[in-house]
């Protein structure tokens, strides 16, 4: 791998003008007022399902199991047709309208992560796919040391939906901004193999550009056998993510 590719360095001026052109082509899209009730209802139910199955297991949960759990527990209550329609809309909308150009990684909302294909990583609350991802993670930890940790592994469609919606909420309804950091549920490479790494004890800082200043990141860079998914100025329109390791 070429070092330049890893960092994805481009001239700041060029980057600035690309971003500007993109903003003109894609004015920010916001959650509509009439969507807010259903948005909040879906988020609340997803949160309750997550509490029911636990943080780790929620990373793997399928859409069908989510519906079933909600239906079977009266405290949660079945997802209504309007709520299901909203989820389908989020899943099937082409995010090019949000300035996101990444490839679709999952075709079906009902896509199932097979539990026999994944392995839980001790102490992380996360899973990685056996073999490819697992071997690479182990090799990284061996080469960098125990301060390198897994911060996010396999994410089912529902987990990605939940993270995407939380991001929309924290961006106060700005779907465009949200889609460039927490990509929509059919577009995450986490669902098919990629994972995130961080520095032990760094918490949320691991998901900021500050991670690029850590010794762990600089040591990662020296390794010839890995590359990053979202480099500076990546063609997908995603923010620079120095923590996201490309697998597939």
Binding site for Zn ion (CB under 5 A): 196, 244
CA–CA distance, 48 with 54 (Å, rounded to integer): 10
Least Å distance, CB 35 to Zn ion, is 26
Residue 50 or 196: which CB sits closer to Zn ion?
196
Least Å distance, CB 177 to Zn ion, is 17
Helix, strand or coil for residue 199?
A: strand
Least Å distance, CB 187 to Zn ion, is 12
Q: Between the CA of residue 160 and those of 4, 124, 183, 189, 231, what are the distances in Å?
A: 30, 17, 8, 10, 21
Residue 126 or 244: which CB sits closer to Zn ion?
244
Least Å distance, CB 245 to Zn ion, is 8
Q: Tell me how crowded residue 218 is: count the other CB atoms within 10 A of its CB.
A: 11
Least Å distance, CB 66 to Zn ion, is 21
DSSP code, position 30: B
Residue 66 or 160: which CB sits closer to Zn ion?
160
CA–CA distance, 49 with 67 (Å, rounded to integer): 9
Residue 63 or 243: which CB sits closer to Zn ion?
243
CA–CA distance, 154 with 59 (Å, rounded to integer): 7
Residue 171 or 196: which CB sits closer to Zn ion?
196
Question: In the bound complex, which residue of the shown chain has the CB atom lying closest to Zn ion?
Answer: 244
Give the dihedral sign, CA 45/208/91/186.
negative
């Amino acid at each position: 791998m070429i070092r330049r590719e890893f960092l994805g360095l481009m001239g700041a001026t060029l980057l600035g003008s690309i971003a500007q052109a993109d903003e003109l082509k894609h004015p920010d899209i916001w959650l509509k007022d009439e969507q807010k009730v259903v948005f909040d209802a879906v988020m609340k139910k997803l949160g309750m399902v997550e509490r029911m199955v636990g943080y780790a297991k929620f990373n793997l949960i399928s859409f069908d199991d989510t519906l079933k759990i909600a239906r079977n527990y009266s405290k949660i209550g079945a997802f209504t047709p309007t709520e299901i329609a909203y989820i389908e809309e989020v899943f099937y909308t082409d995010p090019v309208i949000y300035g996101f150009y990444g490839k679709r990684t999952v075709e079906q909302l009902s896509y199932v992560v097979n539990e026999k294909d994944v392995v839980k990583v001790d102490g992380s609350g996360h899973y990685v796919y056996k073999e490819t991802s697992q071997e690479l993670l182990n090799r990284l930890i061996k080469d960098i040391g125990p301060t390198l940790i897994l911060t996010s592994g396999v994410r089912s469609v529902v987990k990605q939906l939940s993270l995407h919606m939380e991001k929309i909420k924290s961006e106060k309804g700005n779907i465009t901004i949200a889609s460039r950091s927490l990509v929509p549920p059919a577009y995450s490479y986490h669902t098919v193999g990629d994972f995130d790494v961080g520095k032990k004890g760094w918490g949320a800082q691991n998901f900021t550009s500050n991670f690029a200043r850590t010794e762990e990141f600089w040591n990662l860079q020296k390794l010839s056998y890995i590359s990053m998914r979202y480099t500076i100025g990546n063609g997908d329109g995603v923010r620079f993510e120095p923590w996201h390791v490309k697998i597939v």
